[in-house]
Chains A and B, each alone.
Chain A
Amino acid sequence: MDMNDLEARFHQLSWKLHPDNFVKATAEERELALERGSQLNDAYRALRDPVARVEYLLAIEGMRKEGATKQQAPPELLEEVFELNESLDELRSARAEHQEGAEMAALRRRLEEAAKGFEERLAGVDEQLMAAAKDWDAALDSGDRAAGRAALGRMNEILNRRSYIRNLVRGVTQELAQE
C-alpha cells in the first residue's frame, strides 16, 4: 500500500470535512460532516497500521467475530507463555521481598534473554503476516477464491500467535524496566 497516497487522501478528506467549512451549513449538514469525520478517522487508523489492516480484513471477511468463531491457541506456544509468566511472577515476588544477590540476577538474565528471543519472534511473525497478506492480494487479483480463503486462515492463525508474543514482550519489558 502506498502510504503517501493514504496520507494525502486522509488530509484532503479531513480538510473537506473540517467543521470550519460548515459554519454556515444547516444543523443537519454539520451533524453529517462530524459523523463522516469520525468514520474517516476510524478508517485511517485501520489502514495506516499493517496489523490493524489485517484485523479489519479478517473481521469483514467473517474470520474474527467476537464470540462467533472460537480462536484456537497454539499449544506449543501456550506452554512457553505459561512458563515465562511464572518466571515473571517469581521476579515480582522476589522484588517484593527485596531479595538481592545471585538468584535475582540469574532470574533477570533469564528474562532478558527470553525477551530478546520473543522480540525476534515478533519480528518473524510480522514478516509471516505480511507474506500472507501479499498472498491475499495476489489471490484477489487472480480471482482465486480458494487461495484467498487459505491466506485469510493463515493470517488469522498468525495473528493469534502474535497476540501472545506481543503480550509477553510487553509484560517482560515492563517488569525489567522497574528497577
Chain B
Amino acid sequence: MAYSDKVVDHYNHPRNVGSLDKNDPTVGTGLVGAPECGDVMKLQMKINPETQVIEEAKFKTFGCGSAIASSSLATEWVKGKTVDEALAIKNTDIVRELALPPVKIHCSVLAEDAIKAAISDWKRKNATESERPAASSAAQS
C-alpha cells in the first residue's frame, strides 16, 4: 500500500511534536488508542480561557504513518480555532485531506477522538461550580 504524498510529508516533517504541561489548568490533554493495531496518540492544547481560542497544540503518537499524519494534521487545524470550531472537525475531513485508504480510516477516527478528549479534559479542569452537573439543586426540585 502506498501512502499519499501528504501522509509522507507529515510523517517526515511532523508539525507540533512535543508536549505541554498537563497540570496547567489552561491545557487539555487527550490520550487515546486504537486496540486493533496498538497505536497510542497524545494530543494537548493550550486554550485561552477568555476567548476560548486554541493557542498552542502539541502531539506525540506511537503508531503507523497514517496515525502520525492524522494527529500532525489535527494539531495544525485546531491551532487558532475556537473550542467549538475544533469540535466540529470530523474524521472524514482528515480522510479527505490525507487521502487515507479504507484500512487506515481508524487513524483519522483516533485523531478526532483525541481532539474531543483534549477539549473535554480542559472543560473538566475549568468547570466552575455552576457549570458542573447540578446534582444538589436537581435533587431538591
Residues of A within 8 A of B (CB): 66-67, 70-73, 75, 77-79, 81-82, 85-86, 159-161, 163-164, 166-168
Contact = CB atoms under 8 A, between A and B. Distances in A.
Interface stretch (B34-42, B66-74, B77-85, B133-141): B34-42
B31 to A, nearest CB: 5
Contact of A163 (B32, B36, B62, B109): B36
Given A67-B105, A67-B106, A164 B35 contact: yes
B65 interface: no
B40 A78 contact: yes
Contacts of A159: 35
Interface residues of B, number: 17
Interface of B: 31-38, 40, 42, 60, 62, 102-103, 105-106, 109
By Cβ-Cβ distance, the 10 closest A-B pairs, closest first, are A73-B33, A160-B35, A167-B38, A85-B62, A71-B35, A78-B33, A164-B38, A82-B40, A163-B38, A81-B40
A66 B34 CA distance: 12
B59 to A, nearest CB: 12
Contacts of B33: 73, 77-78, 81, 164
B32 A78 contact: yes
Most chain A beta-carbon neighbours within 10 Å: one of B36, B105, B106:
B36
Nearest to A72: B35
Contacts of B109: 70
B32 A82 contact: no
Nearest to B19: A86
Contacts of B40: 73, 78, 81-82, 85
